[in-house]
Amino acid sequence: MSVGLLALLDDVAALARMAATQLDDVAAQATKAGAKAAGVVIDDAAVTPGYVVGFAASREVPIVAKIALGSLRNKLIFLLPGALVLSFFAPWAITPLLMLGGLYLAYEGAEKIYERLFPHQAHAHEEKVDAAAAVSLTVAEDRRVASAIKTDFILSAEIMAITLAGLPEGSSIWMQAIVLAVVGIGVTVAVYGAVALIVKADDAGLAMSRNGTTNVFGSLVRGVGRGLVVGMPVFLKVLTVVGTAAMVWVGGGIIVHGLEHYGIDFLARGIEVAAEAAAHAVPAAAAIVHWIVTAAGSGVVGLIAGGLLIPIVGGVLAPAWLWVNAQRA
């Protein structure tokens, strides 16, 4: 009896060691894959705060929470199983789908820039697109959340695709699923937790500025609070600009890499040559200069592609959408 019990305990210990090893592997793979997707994660964090601008302070966190839940749904319910199915049955379809997502991001960013440069023409264009959206989305908050979740879907798809591509060949489907889930949840918590802190920083600053402590520490707290109150609106505006730029350069980068995948590599080679030349010219900051030039090159591609889509969406797709909804009604 004692021998059998000891054998059972040995088996349990062996299983525990195996489980611990698997957990270590998952953590290591998730960390590595998440690091590769860091650029898109930063873009996601930059884009999202712009969606709460213009709403009452009491609605900021609920809006972020709605977007976060939509992001989790995107990653875990749609993208995770979709990525596994595509990687197993149709790996050839991943690149075209990512390129379509890149075109969508490029269009969104270019349309925002177009609105800034040509406000009157942009309003006419927006009326066509918004009229189509108003069929099913009548409340401004719901419309904003839906737009944020659509944009998040593209960024999340890129994060999941980068994660999947970063896994070693021969990984089991269970390992792939677990790592994708860990990265998806971790990225969502990190991004939208940071966004919630950003959008509520001015309220925290207001509370700090009213601190009644009379010592040096109290004065310091009040000074920091006043700085937050004054600085956060400016910071949010800057972040909105960064978010628009992020849509353009991430979308352009997806397009460039997709074309390179199909052997059309002159854009990728041209951007890389320019980035290498700029990095050699400034050796003290070679890495950051290389990144800036690469992002700028991708941004130019994204801006051109998105700009070409503006008349197509406003002149063809939006009227077609209105016609379809009119037929349904």
- DSSP string across 225-240: HHHHHHHHHHHHHHHH
> Tokens 């609070």 belong to which residue?
225
Per-residue DSSP letters for 64-122?
Answer: HHHHHHHHHHIIIIIIHHHHHHHHHH-GGGHHHHHHHHHHHHHHHHHHHHHHHH-HHHH
- The pLDDT score that the predictor gives to residue 136 is 42
Please, where are the H alpha helices in the chain? 2-36, 38-47, 57-73, 80-89, 94-117, 119-133, 140-166, 173-209, 216-261, 266-281, 286-312, 318-328
- Closest to 156 measured CA to CA, from 246, 38, 74: 74
Can you read off the two tokens belonging to residue 29? 């793979």
pLDDT score, position 210? 87
Token pair recorded at residue 48 = 């999202």
177, 60 Cβ separation under 8 angstroms: no
pLDDT for 120: 60
At residue 40, the pLDDT reads 64
175 CB burial (10 A radius; 0-12, 13-18, 19+)? middle
Cβ proximity of 80 and 161 under 8 Å: no
**Coil, strand or helix: which one is 27?**
helix
Provide the 10 A C-beta neighbour count for residue 44.
28
Each residue's pLDDT tens digit in the chain (329 positions)? Answer: 455 544 544 554 454 454 445 445 556 555 655 555 555 666 667 777 777 777 777 888 889 999 999 999 999 999 999 989 988 888 888 888 888 888 988 998 898 898 888 876 555 555 555 554 444 434 678 888 888 898 888 788 878 887 877 777 777 888 888 888 888 898 899 889 988 898 888 888 888 888 877 788 888 988 999 999 899 888 878 877 887 888 898 889 989 999 998 999 999 999 999 999 999 999 999 999 999 999 999 999 999 999 999 888 766 655 655 555 555 55
pLDDT score recorded for residue 295: 92
Residue 116's pLDDT is what? 85
